[in-house]
Amino acid sequence: MATPYPPQHPAQPNQPVPQGGYAPNGAQHPAYAGYAQQGPYAQPPAQPHVQGPPQAPAQAYGQPQPAYGPGASVPPGAPGCRVCGAFPAAADVTIRQHTGLLVAMRTDKAQGPLCRTCATAIHRQMTTKTLAGGWFSPMSLFLLCWLTLAANVHAHFKIAKLPHPAPTPATLHPGKPILQRPLAYVGLSLIAGWVLFLVVRGLS
């Protein structure tokens, strides 16, 4: 009887038989694929670590996320404070200081963008110096000092409308209010003393 060709059940090659936990002659046995050593100290192959999408930190219920501060979204093109870099900041704030020097005058100004905290500190400092030394020239006494103070009052209401920014290490300290600073009464005291002197001299 003829044998069919090709044979229906071809002979399978001899498979290496593991001996003592290792495949003979360095061959890799299917039962030990992925293992460098068999036995009680064998370690499974390391699986690659797959990192999922980042998860946002949990927010406490009922606590809204601050509009400004570390990690908060800032509107595109929003100006930062020129002193400390905090948000938000007003770009159209101008604070002025006037000094009368008997025969000369000097006017300084600080312009935005400034946050509420830094603008308040600068406003209090420059307005106090204007009240202390802005009277000592004829033009300053009768016109320029008053205009400077009026402009700073307008700037004060504009600063008060700004929300409080997130504090930064470079934020200026506002200090005491203007009316609680003794320097603010120096110029007015000298003027009041001079007027009192003239009145008393005229009556005598």
In a domain, 40, yes or no: no
Identify the domain containing residue 124 by its residue range.
94-203
Name residue 110's amino acid. A
In a domain, 15, yes or no: no
pTM over 0.85: no
Judge whether 135 and 187 are in contact, CB under 8 Å.
yes
Number of domains in the chain: 1
In a domain, 31, yes or no: no
In a domain, 23, yes or no: no
Alpha-carbon distances of 46 from 30, 36, 52, rounded to whole Å:
18, 12, 18
96, containing H or E segment: strand 94-101
In a domain, 38, yes or no: no
In a domain, 78, yes or no: no
Give per-residue burial for 103-132: e unless 16+ CB within 10 Å, then b: eebeeeebebbbbbbbbbbbbbbbbbbbbb
pLDDT tens track, the chain, 204 positions: 555 555 555 555 555 555 544 445 545 555 545 444 555 555 555 565 555 545 544 444 444 334 444 444 455 566 789 999 888 888 889 999 999 988 889 999 999 899 999 999 999 999 999 999 998 888 998 899 999 999 999 999 999 999 988 878 888 999 999 999 999 998 888 878 878 888 888 887
In a domain, 195, yes or no: yes
Name residue 115's amino acid. C
d(CA 32, CA 43): 11
